[in-house]
Amino acid sequence: MRLLKRIMIITTIVIAVIAIAGFLFMQRAIFGKNPDGARLERIKKSPYYKDGVFQYPESTPLMTKEASYLKMIQLQFKTDEAREPTIPLPSVKTNLKKVPTNNFQITWFGHSSYLLQIDGKNILVDPVFSKAASPVDFVGAKRFPGTDVYSLKDMPPLDAILLTHDHYDHLDYEVITQLKDSAVKFYMPLGVGAHLEHWGIDTSRITELDWWDKTEIITGIRLTATPARHFSGRGLTDRGKTLWTSYVIESDSSRIYVGGDSGYGPHFKTIGEKFGSFDLTILECGQYHTYWPLIHMMPEEVVQAHLDLKGKVLFPVHWGKFALGFHPWKEPIERLMIRADANAVKVTTPKIGEQILSEGSLPQSKWWK
């Protein structure tokens, strides 16, 4: 009887220690902060905020009924060389501080991070330069070898930073804190500003947008936040507390669609009809699975989204840096190219650091082979 009591006491202590350790871990700044106060009051006025969370207009469950968490855990820890490249990915080291002469040029850093240089202005999108897309470097998806050739130090003087949502592979705590003492302004969907303020960014540098909100981020460069079919959250209890978005960027010389993360949906056709056409569509292609078909597009759906948007050139991103899904790392681009060729869609496929230029350069090599 005494032994049983001792076991129960020890078990209780162990559970308490684990609970306290877990609680303290979740208090780390990297997890961000939920919107409150005046920010939350503004959020409550959004037509897309219902029952305490943001919602896409159509039902968008994160997982199908057939999804198996046990199977996903097994897949996550399965050793499969095809999920990650076995050699460093090729890259081009470009001097980004040289003032561009094109209407626009884009430099990709892998996954969904890239520098837009439009009419001489520098706009950084979803900058992630950390070793892993997770709260800690030693757990989660680590960047592929060869994808670490750029950092904030390589960037030209920045005019604006666009954030599409608060997931770790799009919102990098280390990057944001490095920019705390700069003058660059941040543009993001509703609620994400709570994270940035928590990390020391002054409120005056934060602009939050609901879907269809418009603003001029730089003289002559207009930004519209547009719908996306996804979700948000950085912790265990904050899913849907902040909005996620895509963007339309317009200048007198060009119109570019920044897709962020999104499953396929009717919003693509709505955006295409509203804006007419796009010189370039930047769409996520990768980290999909049949278990979560509504929050990430299959490669074939990416091509259809581009057609819905009436795009001229498709630039697929959200691949080539992290293995967040379970598919082979090069499968997204290979499947996309087959569907694009069948539909006569022009695709640009730059290496990391290789520039897409509005005039004269549209990288199309199959470098992943």
- Residues 104 and 258: beta-carbon distance below 8 Å: no
6 has pLDDT over 50:
yes
346, amino acid identity: K
pTM of the model: 0.92
pLDDT band, very low/low/confident/very high, at 241 (cuts 50, 70, 90): very high
- 213-217 CB contacts, 8 Å cutoff, 24+ apart: 215/187, 217/123, 217/159, 217/160, 217/185, 217/187
**Can you list the domains of the chain with their CATH numbers?**
74-357 (3.60.15.10)
Query: Of all residues in the chain, what percent carry a pLDDT higher than 70?
Result: 91
pLDDT band, very low/low/confident/very high, at 19 (cuts 50, 70, 90): very low
Distance of CA 240 to the CA centre of its chain: 15
DSSP symbol at 277: -
Q: Are strands 214-218 and 206-209 parallel, antiparallel or unpaired?
A: unpaired
113, amino acid identity: S
CB within 8 A of 151, min separation 6: which ones? 129
- What span, in angstroms and rounded, lies between the C-alpha atoms of 331 and 84? 11
Backbone angles phi, psi at 52, to 5 degrees: 85, 5
pLDDT at 74: 73
pLDDT at 20: 47
pLDDT at 243: 98
Over residues 178-235, the pLDDT tens digits come to 999 999 999 999 999 999 999 999 999 999 999 999 999 999 999 999 999 999 999 9
Three-state secondary structure call for residue 31: helix
* C-alpha triplet 172, 168, 89: angle, nearest 5°: 80
Rg (CA), the chain: 21
Backbone angles phi, psi at 26, to 5 degrees: -70, -10
For the record, the structure tokens of 146 come out as 């060869």
Over residues 153-192, the pLDDT tens digits come to 999 999 999 999 999 999 999 999 999 999 999 999 999 9
* C-alpha triplet 124, 129, 135: angle, nearest 5°: 120
Over residues 303-336, the pLDDT tens digits come to 999 999 999 999 999 999 999 999 999 999 999 9
Residue with tokens 């790392």: 329
- Residues 315 and 356: beta-carbon distance below 8 Å: yes
Backbone angles phi, psi at 117, to 5 degrees: -115, 105
Average pLDDT, the chain: 91
Three-state secondary structure call for residue 35: coil
